[in-house]
A and B are shown apart, each in its own frame.
Chain A
Amino acid sequence: MAPRFRLSLPILIGCIIAATALLLAAGGYDVRAAGLALVRGSFGSWYAFGSGTLVRATPLVLTGLSVAIAFRAGVFNIGAEGQFLAGAAAATAVALSLGHADRLVALTLPLAAGCAAGAIWAGIAAVLRARFNVLEVISTLLLNFVAAFAISYLVRGPLQEPTHVYPQTATIPVAAQLPRLGAATRLHLGSLIALSCALLAWWIMRATAAGFRVRAVGANPNAAAIAGRINVQRVTMRAFLVSGALAGLAGAIEVAGVTFALYENISPGYGYTAIAVALLARLDPAGVIVTGVLFGALDAGAAAMQRDANVPSVVVMVVEATIILALLAADRIRIQPRASAHPTIEAAS
């Protein structure tokens, strides 16, 4: 085993900020103005922090959890994006069909539908892997595209707003909209739900038998099956479903808390950013809270950068990718891939 060394997080992030500044300078942008806009848009004021950073961090924490739990269990779910979309669509459909429901029902039912839809969407990949040995990397990616086409159909077909002009749904009833946390910002109840989910997942992974089984299967499925008598298939399937449900919940909360309607580009790639969120947190659910807020700040700041300094916000993707690559190089993130596809035990490695 090669020696492990850890790069301290501040140094890492410093290097990446420097590299990004260099890229922007090379592109002929005003780096100072861009930097100021980045800070102003993310941490510059309570309004920016609440309405920008934390509102964007909410789906990132949930999708980040989705990825972290899947990866921990050795499940390569890169389909958080599709599961997010499935959750958003289901939540919208349920919220729109509620009529005059009780407030509690109107709030919880769409979120539950989002969880279920996300779990089902991930469940397709889970069944494909368990029954047909299809690599979940490929199936979840393909399902992301199918989900995007399905949304495109829904917002132009059965769920289109009544006037049939815009490719989006009608606004969901007020009863189904998540309450704001205070009047000063756009921060909503969903952020607290995400926080609770992260803490719950942290506790489960750390202190319960179920969490131990997930970690054991992820670390070495053969050892877990032989020495631990763990039903690897069942643990894997559950990890898939929980992972999908969390991403689906993220989509539902985005609709119920932020957009109040469904449209095509409802996700600016939360499901992909989630991979960076989870990896930077070293797949630790509690850490996901921190990294989720960090990437939320980055997203919010980048939006301000585009608005005020005319810097393309896609530069955030470069930062995300660089963080993942730097972590790979420095930390040697290792995840046991696809145990079920390779049942042979690696000899004395």
Chain B
Amino acid sequence: MSLSSQPAASEFFSATIRTATPLLLAALGEVVVERAGVINIGLEGVVLAGSFGALIGATHGGVLSAYVVAALCGLATAALFALFVLWTSADQIITGTAITLLALGLTGTLYRAIYGATGALLTLSTEQPLPIPGLSRIPWLGAALFAQPPVTYLAYALIPIVWWWMYRTHAGLALRAVGESPQAAAAAGVRPRRVRLLALMFGGVLGGIAGGMLVVAQAGTFAEGMSSGRGFVAIAIVVLGRWHPVGVAIAALVFGAASALQFLLQALGLALPYQLFLALPYLLTLAGLAGLAGRVLAPAALARPDEELA
């Protein structure tokens, strides 16, 4: 069994973290959005916009500018979604689908317009791993967890921060109140539309950074449609994590581990089709969603249009 050898195990854990981190970032944003009673299917488009933004930023500047432009692109995409959902009370699912289509089309068109159809050989600034002294030397897990690009540490840090903010501050309470009953929250002096707008903008920034991470810290380049469903998966992860930041982190790790299983099982030399391993995380997510039946408590106002709000 290859798990007994440290390199194979280390590779498995690294692959887990690698897959989980962008999902975690996007899902931590989306969990805030959904606790405010909005479901942003356009998150897929937000992530893709972030990737494209990172490409622009990284060709004109360094890693930091890549992340700044990625966050701004994610923010702009989420703001467009917010404009439709909050001000014309358009249906959230349809708007989100349209936003994703728009991002796919726009990034594809602009990419080919700027960089040519084949994508000329791009040299981008990439984000190098920053091993944390001491911690990264822990056997088995150290390298996987603590020899990562800085953006990964940001994702780690955000788990307790989002939890603390959501459950221990007045603003977090207001957010959750809006997600349960916008009318009651409004009666208590909270402005639901503003809360939802801010939540969506936070989700847009994190989604954009998640997309930027794919370019700057992982692929080192941009490809059309490179978000390849990560935004959708992040939404599933929010449900799987029961709309709780810690649950979301665990769900992201499980998804990452399921994706990384292919390395372990390939090392075992099993003659199973690799597509099965590619599909496995999606199947596990579906099974996980079904397994939550009856125990899941979605925000009561989720996906309901808020035209009754002032």
Judge if B282 is at the interface, Cβ distance under 8 Å.
yes
Q: How far is the CB of A131 from chain B (nearest CB, A)?
A: 7
Q: How far is the CB of B183 from chain A (nearest CB, A)?
A: 9
Judge if A340 is at the interface, Cβ distance under 8 Å.
no
Q: How far is the CB of B60 from chain A (nearest CB, A)?
A: 18
The interface bits of chain B over 151-190 (1 if a CB of A lies within 8 angstroms of the residue's CB, else 0) are 0000000000000000000000000000000000000000
Q: Which residue of B lies closest to A318 (CB)?
A: B105
Judge if A43 is at the interface, Cβ distance under 8 Å.
no
Q: How far is the CB of B97 from chain A (nearest CB, A)?
A: 6
Interface residues on A, range: 35 or more
The interface bits of chain A over 305-349 (1 if a CB of B lies within 8 angstroms of the residue's CB, else 0) are 000001010111111111011001100111101100110101001
Which residues of B sit under 8 angstroms from A320, Cβ to Cβ? 98, 101, 105
Task: Judge whether B304 and A142 touch: CB under 8 Å.
Answer: no
Q: Which residue of A lies closest to B298 (CB)?
A: A341
Q: How far is the CB of B136 from chain A (nearest CB, A)?
A: 34
Task: Judge whether B298 and A324 touch: CB under 8 Å.
Answer: no
Task: Judge whether B101 and A272 touch: CB under 8 Å.
Answer: yes
Judge if A78 is at the interface, Cβ distance under 8 Å.
yes
Which residues of A sit under 8 angstroms from B305, Cβ to Cβ? 334
Q: A76-B93, A337-B93, A337-B303 are in contact. Are A324 and B98 (CB under 8 A)?
A: yes
Q: How far is the CB of A330 from chain B (nearest CB, A)?
A: 9
Judge if A192 is at the interface, Cβ distance under 8 Å.
no
Bound-complex Cα distance A12 to B235 (A)? 32
Task: Judge whether B235 and A138 touch: CB under 8 Å.
Answer: yes
Bound-complex Cα distance A303 to B250 (A)? 44
Q: Which of A145-153, A196-204, A245-253 contacts B (4 or more CB under 8 A)?
A: A145-153
Q: A133-B296, A342-B304 are in contact. Are A314 and B109 (CB under 8 A)?
A: yes
Bound-complex Cα distance A319 to B101 (A)? 9
Task: Judge whether B98 and A139 touch: CB under 8 Å.
Answer: no
Bound-complex Cα distance A20 to B29 (A)? 31
Task: Judge whether A328 and B84 touch: CB under 8 Å.
Answer: yes
Which residues of A sit under 8 angstroms from B278, Cβ to Cβ? 149, 152
Q: A142-B282, A142-B286, A312-B109 are in contact. Are A321 and B99 (CB under 8 A)?
A: yes
Task: Judge whether A338 and B94 touch: CB under 8 Å.
Answer: no
A-B contacts counted at CB < 8 A amount to 162
Question: Chain A's interface: helix, strand, loop or mixed, by majority?
Answer: helix
Q: Which residue of B lies closest to A344 (CB)?
A: B300
Task: Judge whether A133 and B294 touch: CB under 8 Å.
Answer: yes
Q: Which residue of B lies closest to A154 (CB)?
A: B275
Q: Which of B3-11, B49-57, B110-118, B202-210 contacts A (4 or more CB under 8 A)?
A: B110-118
Which residues of A sit under 8 angstroms from B94, Cβ to Cβ? 275, 279, 324, 328, 333, 335
Which residues of A sit under 8 angstroms from B294, Cβ to Cβ? 133
Task: Tell which of A312, A337, A341 touches B113, judged by Cβ atoms closer than 8 Å.
Answer: A312
Q: A28-B113, A134-B289, A143-B286 are in contact. Are A337 and B304 (CB under 8 A)?
A: yes
Q: Which residue of A lies closest to B274 (CB)?
A: A153
Task: Judge whether B307 and A142 touch: CB under 8 Å.
Answer: no
Bound-complex Cα distance A327 to B235 (A)? 25
The residues in A between 39 and 83 inclusive whose CB is less than 8 angstroms from any CB of B are 76, 78
Bound-complex Cα distance A25 to B102 (A)? 18
Judge if B232 is at the interface, Cβ distance under 8 Å.
yes
Judge if B279 is at the interface, Cβ distance under 8 Å.
yes
Task: Name the residue in A2, A76, A142, A333 with the highest tally of chain B Cβ atoms < 10 Å from its Cβ.
Answer: A142
Judge if A112 is at the interface, Cβ distance under 8 Å.
no
Q: How far is the CB of B282 from chain A (nearest CB, A)?
A: 5
Judge if B236 is at the interface, Cβ distance under 8 Å.
yes
Task: Judge whether A329 and B90 touch: CB under 8 Å.
Answer: yes
Q: How far is the CB of B278 from chain A (nearest CB, A)?
A: 5
Task: Judge whether B91 and A324 touch: CB under 8 Å.
Answer: no
Task: Tell which of B101, B117, B303 touches A324, judged by Cβ atoms closer than 8 Å.
Answer: B101
The residues in A between 282 and 324 inclusive whose CB is less than 8 angstroms from any CB of B are 310, 312, 314-322, 324
Q: A132-B289, A134-B290 are in contact. Are A321 and B101 (CB under 8 A)?
A: yes
Q: How far is the CB of A301 from chain B (nearest CB, A)?
A: 15
Judge if B128 is at the interface, Cβ distance under 8 Å.
no
Bound-complex Cα distance A235 to B298 (A)? 24
The interface bits of chain B over 227-250 (1 if a CB of A lies within 8 angstroms of the residue's CB, else 0) are 001001101100100000000000
Task: Judge whether A325 and B232 touch: CB under 8 Å.
Answer: no
Q: A132-B293, A349-B308 are in contact. Are A142 and B232 (CB under 8 A)?
A: yes
Q: Which residue of A lies closest to B307 (CB)?
A: A2
Q: A146-B279, A146-B283 are in contact. Are A312 and B117 (CB under 8 A)?
A: yes
Task: Judge whether B285 and A142 touch: CB under 8 Å.
Answer: yes
Additional A-B contacts beyond A78-B41, A156-B273 (9; CB < 8 A): A145-B232, A146-B279, A149-B276, A314-B105, A314-B109, A329-B90, A332-B89, A335-B91, A342-B300
8 A-B pairs with CB atoms under 8 Å apart are A141-B236, A142-B236, A315-B109, A317-B105, A318-B101, A324-B101, A329-B84, A332-B88
